[in-house]
Each structure stands twice: as structure tokens, then as C-alpha cells.
Amino acid sequence: MIDNEVSPELCSFIEKERWKYPFKLTSNIDIEKDLKITGDDAVEFIIAFGKEFDVTIVRYKNSFFKRQ
């Protein structure tokens, strides 16, 4: 896998949870800006990610959860 390339498993997860995007997914993708996942959808996406990849999501601190 090249440095900024996203694993096939992660690509499949994103397509399953959302849809296939018309651009290549890289490690530089922003959930809100690029994938257009916001609000409750973002929370559900992060929770689903945690379950799918066995990641404990206790508190996800990121700017997209803060009110601008």
C-alpha cells in the first residue's frame, strides 16, 4: 500500500456505509469536507467504523463535532 492509499477494506466499508465516491479515497480525505458526512450521520459513521474495525470509540474529539 502506498503512503496515502486507503486499504481495500476501508474503501469497502465506506462504500457499504455510504456509497462509491467519484474520486479516489486517500488518507488525506476529510469526513465532513470530502465525504460530506455531517451531524448524526458522522456520529453513526464513526460508531460503525469502531464496530467494523474493532476500535473503541470512547470520545472522538475532532473539529467537525464542534459547533462552528
Asked whether residue 3 is domain-assigned, the answer is no
Could you read off the pLDDT of 45-59 as tens digits, one per residue?
988 998 999 988 766
Q: Cell digits for 30? A: 476529510
Q: Is the pLDDT of residue 62 over 60?
A: no
* Number of C-beta neighbours around residue 51 at 10 A: 9
Range of the domain at 48: 8-65
- Predicted confidence band of residue 9 (pLDDT cuts 50, 70, 90): very high
Q: What is the per-residue pLDDT across 15-35, written as a single tens digit (0 to 9) for each?
A: 999 888 888 888 888 889 999
The answer to whether residue 27 sits within a structural domain is yes
Question: Is 1 part of any domain?
Answer: no
Number of domains in the chain: 1
- Four-CA torsion 4, 10, 14, 15, nearest 10 degrees: 100
For 37, other C-beta atoms within 10 Å of its C-beta total 20
**pLDDT above 50: residue 11:** yes
48 in a domain, yes or no? yes
